[in-house]
């Protein structure tokens, strides 16, 4: 059962977090439909255009039931940072509140959730010339060599990034050059909260991992039946898509390996399911350790009870 927020006030926003395939989206849509609220994305892969099936973006039915924002609005080859997300979210949340509606933030990217609550400062912009230089070096030298460079410049940052993670290595080196200081200095600066934590109803879904593993396998089968193979083929045909951050979405590298003849389709699907399960485990661990006791935890969305939630939020029955 959902409880009231701090001081017995009605919540002015809802945050729904949890690992992939935990039931976040269905809960968010049901709540938005009941309150006239708006679902706001907090998933770093669902922002990209062209990957509706493989990133499990809202279905046509979901979109018909409730308004959704910040889904599929970013070009696949765009560099989209947490700072860019914060700027977009600030605009969208302002519009929702100005319309007198309830924002229902839903997603599995912990960094986005923490940023909305003010845990991360809006990162400074990086000059395109700096980006171009580091991208050129990455193409020439590879991630392992640049990771060594990062370790010399900022050992603490390098220790948190895998030597094969080209995107994060690039971002760290770009910020180092742009700001002249270690990343820890940026990360220690608290940002301005876009969601007031004390007045937000905060829900995290934590299904048993055995159940989550089965759901993930079933969902990927459903994605394949819905046209994921064709979606991946179309996506990879875009110039630069395979090398982009969006190109790292679960299912894209695996199906690309199938297209090239490296993997059978069955092996590609198995690999994608395994990777999705590993990702869900990391998400679950992060949410268990990073979200405080004021987050209400439920193994199953059905345990929450929509009437209980409705009593805790500032309901506005306006639709559309």
Q: In angstroms, what is the C-alpha Rg of the chain?
A: 20
Per-residue pLDDT at 128? 81
Measured between alpha carbons, how far is 67 from 249 in angstroms, rounded to an integer?
Answer: 24
Output the DSSP codes for 257-282.
HHHTTSS-HHHHHHHHHHHHHHHHHH
Would you say the C-alpha torsion 190, 116, 181, 164 has a positive or negative sign?
Answer: positive
Measured between alpha carbons, how far is 100 from 95 in angstroms, rounded to an integer?
Answer: 9
| 89 and 105 together in one domain | yes
15: left (phi over 0), alpha (psi -120 to 50) or beta: beta
Per-residue pLDDT at 122? 57
CA atoms within 13 A on the CB side of 76: 22
Q: Provide the residue range defining the domain that includes 214.
A: 6-120+196-312
Domain end residue (candidates: 154, 188, 222): 188
Mean of pLDDT over the chain: 88
| 179 and 211 together in one domain | no
CATH of residue 285? 3.40.50.300
Residues in the chain where the model's pLDDT stays below 70: 1-10, 119-124, 185-191, 314-320
Domain end residue (candidates: 188, 204, 226): 188
CA atoms within 13 A on the CB side of 7: 8
| 211 and 281 together in one domain | yes
Q: Is residue 319 situated within a structural domain?
A: no
Tally of structural domains, the chain: 2
Output the DSSP codes for 291-304.
S-TTSEEESSGGGT
Measured between alpha carbons, how far is 164 from 22 in angstroms, rounded to an integer?
Answer: 29
The answer for residues whose C-beta is within 8 angstroms of residue 252's C-beta and 6 or more apart is 51, 54, 232, 235, 236, 242, 246
Measured between alpha carbons, how far is 33 from 285 in angstroms, rounded to an integer?
Answer: 30
Measured between alpha carbons, how far is 181 from 82 in angstroms, rounded to an integer?
Answer: 19
**Adjacency order of strands within the sheet including 103-107:** 67-69, 38-41, 103-107, 13-17, 200-205, 296-298
Q: Is residue 164 situated within a structural domain?
A: yes
Which run of H or E residues covers position 204? Answer: strand 200-205
Task: Return the closest-CA partner of residue 93 out of 10, 4, 15.
Answer: 15
Domain end residue (candidates: 139, 169, 188): 188
Per-residue pLDDT at 126? 77
CATH of residue 182? 1.10.20.140
| 19 and 158 together in one domain | no
Tell how far CA 181 is from the center of its chain.
Answer: 27
Q: Is residue 75 situated within a structural domain?
A: yes
CB–CB of 75/69 below 8 Å? Answer: no
Per-residue pLDDT at 123? 62
């Amino acid at each position: 059962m959902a409880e009231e927020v701090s001081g017995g006030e009605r919540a002015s926003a809802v945050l729904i977090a949890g690992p992939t395939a935990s039931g976040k989206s269905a809960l968010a849509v049901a709540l938005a439909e009941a309150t006239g609220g708006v679902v706001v994305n907090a998933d770093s892969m669902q922002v990209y255009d062209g990957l509706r099936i493989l990133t499990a973006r809202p279905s046509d039915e979901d979109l018909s039931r409730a308004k959704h924002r910040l889904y599929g609005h970013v070009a696949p080859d765009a560099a989209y940072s947490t700072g860019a997300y914060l700027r977009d979210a600030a605009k969208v949340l302002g519009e929702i509140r100005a319309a007198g509606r309830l924002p229902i933030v839903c997603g599995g990217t912990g960094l986005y959730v923490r940023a909305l609550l003010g845990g991360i400062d809006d990162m400074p912009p990086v000059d395109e010339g700096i980006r171009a230089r580091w991208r050129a070096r990455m193409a020439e030298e590879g991630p392992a060599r640049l990771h060594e460079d990062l370790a010399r410049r900022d050992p603490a940052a390098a220790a948190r990034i895998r030597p094969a993670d080209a995107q994060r290595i690039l971002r760290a080196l770009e910020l180092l050059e742009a700001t002249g200081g270690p990343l820890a200095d940026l990360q220690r600066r608290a940002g301005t909260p876009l969601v007031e934590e004390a007045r937000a109803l905060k829900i995290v879904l934590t299904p048993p991992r055995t159940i989550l593993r089965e759901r993930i396998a079933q969902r990927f089968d459903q994605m394949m039946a819905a046209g994921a193979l064709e979606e991946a083929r179309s996506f990879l045909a875009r110039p630069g898509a395979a090398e982009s951050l969006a190109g790292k979405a679960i299912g894209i590298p695996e199906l690309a390996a199938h297209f090239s003849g490296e993997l059978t389709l069955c092996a590609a699907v198995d690999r994608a399911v395994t990777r999705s399960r590993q990702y869900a485990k990391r998400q679950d661990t992060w949410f268990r350790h990073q979200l405080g006791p004021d987050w209400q935890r439920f193994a199953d969305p059905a345990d929450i009870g929509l009437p209980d939630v409705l009593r805790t939020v500032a309901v506005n029955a306006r639709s559309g």
